Amino acid sequence: MYLGPPPRSSLLLMLLCSLPALADDLFLDGQPLPQVLTATRLKQSAAAVPGSMTVIDSELIKASGARDISELLRLVPGMMVGYTTGNQASVNYHGTSASDARRMQVLIDGRSVYRAGLATVDWSDIPVAMEDIERIEVFRGPNTVSYGANALMAVVNILTRSPANSQGSRMKVTRGERGINDFYASQGVGWETGDLRLSLSGQQDDGFDSNAVGADRRDGRRLNRFSLAVSQTLNAQQSLDWQLNVKEGTNQRPYTYTPIFDGITEGSNNSDVTAKDYAGSLRWNFDFNPDHSLYIQGSAQQWDRRQIWKACDAKVSFSPQLTQLWQLNPNYAERLARNMEAYSQGSAPPGSAAEQALANQVLDQWKHQGGKDPVCGDIDQSTRESRYDLELQDTLSLSDSLRLLSGFNYRYDRADSDTYFNGTLDDTTWRLFGQLEWRASEHWLLQGGAMYEDTHLSGHSLTPRVAVNYLINPRHGLRAVYSEAVRSPDMFENNVNWSYRVTNLSSPAYGQDSGQYFVVTRGPGNLDKELMRSRELGYNGFFADLGLNVDVKLFYDEITDMISSPLRNNQYIASNANSSHFTGAESQLDWRVSNADRLRLTYAYVDASSSNPLDKAQTARNSGSAGWLREWGQGWSSAVFYYGDDALNQYRFQRVDLRVAKRIAVARTNVELAGVLQQRLDNQPTTWADNNYDHRHVLYFSAELDF
């Protein structure tokens, strides 16, 4: 295993020298504890959480030099970060398919950005700037109990800075190799009863340099974002928070269409996507008293993806008889189409009488009716997805030892696509959820929760979670957790009606200027939910005298009724026939050695087994990270991070990132100049053979002004 162990000898020596301090720290509680929110929706200390948490705070976000949220998640043990192209990250907790990321819920301030129509999270298109993020809380494990289906394996909650903490003006520019060209500007203002933050930001880069055969890799991106956040106090008990986010940009796509029929080589050189996202939310907070609070939140989102590209194929692609043959027997029709020239020299391939009769008509079109002539036209693969969400949550302390959280959620999803759904498809979801926390004694904490969910397209489910935490003291806890979670089949998997209509044909095909491609795929419509059962044993401890936080986790997770790839137009296999198991251990250590130094280590060992080999393609058996943050004085600071895994989709990944920064104070203005160097230590592609850089390093610089 290439991933070297942490410096255990030096760490052990320092711990042994500090045994008296450790003993005192274990049984004394002298300071407030940091709290997290994402695990149960209740504010809890890390030792009391019914599961494993990772918090990436603002200091880590800045020190990492990361330009994307997906890159930050390399700091989370067990998180597998890969790329399908330079502008499309594929992020999975513990793995599954390398090309799809369907089993993790992603939230911005509690609002889901998981797209239900095509079951994806557009990491590079998330409409929030890195500079606006306060912290990222990651619940490492299933959490359907708190967030519903799709929180199958983990939850990533991106929490933005409050407008009250964003006062003043801030500007930042970043330039560097690989076409990196980013900017950020924000203005925060406050008044007697409220605060506002307005920010504008943009990103641009060229993506990967070359594909597996050395040709240019067309996967650059350009995007601009607008964000407005307002907090308004109504009275001593009530407040309003509302947000508005807009994003527009272009993601390049390599042209990957391969004509079915031999000899057809013409076509477009790109299939780029123009993306526009809109999101708005309004939240009313009501604090009845210190023991009782309630909020109501409504949100609306829309994702527009415009993608029109030109394709060329043989005229026979639009043959009504070939379409009938596909509907009768797709495998027979594809075999005929792939070998048309060979079969045209003789007779149709063996099959039923109906199959052979249709095949002979298609062969006659091929030979005598210009069926092999190339025809080109436009394909509109655009999609639009919309979501409307309403949620009510009530939090009540019934006594000093008993807390109850309850609520309901209503969500409406709609997907519009002529290619994928032959029009419009919609879905409605109702949820009821609850979480009960009982402090049975000074040391024992019992927690239980459940989510009932009913989805129009895939039925209902009830998922529970039970946990026992033994608190040695409020800063140190042992936990045992059992939870169940589900993932609803998305619209694409279950209800796809996939076909390509080609318009503006270069020459008429069977008397028409547009035509329907003969391959038509429909989803089964009766897929069941995936089910996950998870068992976890863990420890979380905060040694205040040392500034040391430690979390260790042992886990055994199993997913049944699993829906696996491939889900391609000419090979669509969607069923609940597969399963996967994940067994292993994770650890994370965050140590503030002094006021100047901070060390951070993570490691994950994941042993995956799957009935479908594709479902463990993005599972690295060994992965981890190491970081050292240092304040040198006189405004100088540095951070160095190592990221590594032994195999994602069979390709190793090792990289070291170095950031050096200088802060300068001029009157009331603060200036920070920083440089980031990322150096790959291996010589392999990133996740896929087509993802290659000409140089194994990249260098970029930033200048930030705060006044």
Per-residue pLDDT band for 268 (boundaries 50, 70, 90) equals low
99-103, 470-474, 573-577: least confidently modelled range: 99-103
List pLDDT tens digits, range 675-691.
999 999 999 999 999 99
Q: Where are the strands (E) in 592-668, listed by range?
A: 597-610, 622-633, 636-648, 651-666
**What's the pLDDT at 185?**
98
Q: Which of 260-264, 354-358, 589-593 has the highest mean pLDDT?
A: 589-593
- Give alpha helix (H) positions in 496-580: none
The backbone region for 78, taken as left when phi is positive above 0, alpha when psi lies in -120 to 50, beta otherwise, is left
CA distance 238 to 296: 12
pLDDT at residue 41 above 80? yes
Q: What rounded mean pLDDT belongs to the chain? A: 90
Largest distance between two CA atoms of the chain:
93
Task: Give me the numbers of helices (H) and strands (E) for the chain, helices first please.
Answer: 10, 37
CB atoms within 10 A of CB 438: 16
Over residues 611-638, mean pLDDT: 94
Compute the 3-state secondary structure of the chain and give helix, strand, coil in percent, each to the nearest 5. Answer: 15, 55, 30
Over residues 98-114, mean pLDDT: 85
Per-residue pLDDT band for 10 (boundaries 50, 70, 90) equals very low
- Say which residue, 171 or 574, is predicted with more confidence: 171
What is the token pair recorded at 648? Answer: 């994602």
| Domain 8-254+273-306+382-489+527-706, classified CATH 2.40.170.20, yes or no | yes
CB atoms within 10 A of CB 12: 10
pLDDT at residue 307 above 50? yes
**What's the pLDDT at 266?**
67
The backbone region for 51, taken as left when phi is positive above 0, alpha when psi lies in -120 to 50, beta otherwise, is left
pLDDT at residue 72 above 60? yes
**What's the pLDDT at 267?**
65
CA distance 500 to 505: 13
pLDDT at residue 627 above 70? yes
Percent of the chain with pLDDT over 70: 94
List pLDDT tens digits, range 545-587.
999 999 999 999 999 999 987 777 767 778 899 999 999 999 9
For the chain, domain boundaries: 8-254+273-306+382-489+527-706
Q: Are strands 155-160 and 105-108 parallel, antiparallel or unpaired?
A: parallel
Q: Residues 92, 153: contact at Cβ < 8 Å?
A: yes
Over residues 401-423, mean pLDDT: 95
- Mapped onto helix, strand or coil, the DSSP state of residue 105 is strand
Over residues 120-132, mean pLDDT: 87
**What's the pLDDT at 23?**
38
pLDDT at residue 519 above 90? no
Query: Which of 66, 417, 98, 441 shows the shortest CA–CA distance to 273?
Result: 417
List pLDDT tens digits, range 173-221.
999 999 999 999 999 999 999 999 999 999 999 999 999 999 999 999 9
pLDDT at residue 165 above 80? yes
- Mapped onto helix, strand or coil, the DSSP state of residue 574 is coil
**pTM score, whole prediction:** 0.91
**What's the pLDDT at 32?**
66
Per-residue pLDDT band for 98 (boundaries 50, 70, 90) equals low
Per-residue pLDDT band for 22 (boundaries 50, 70, 90) equals very low
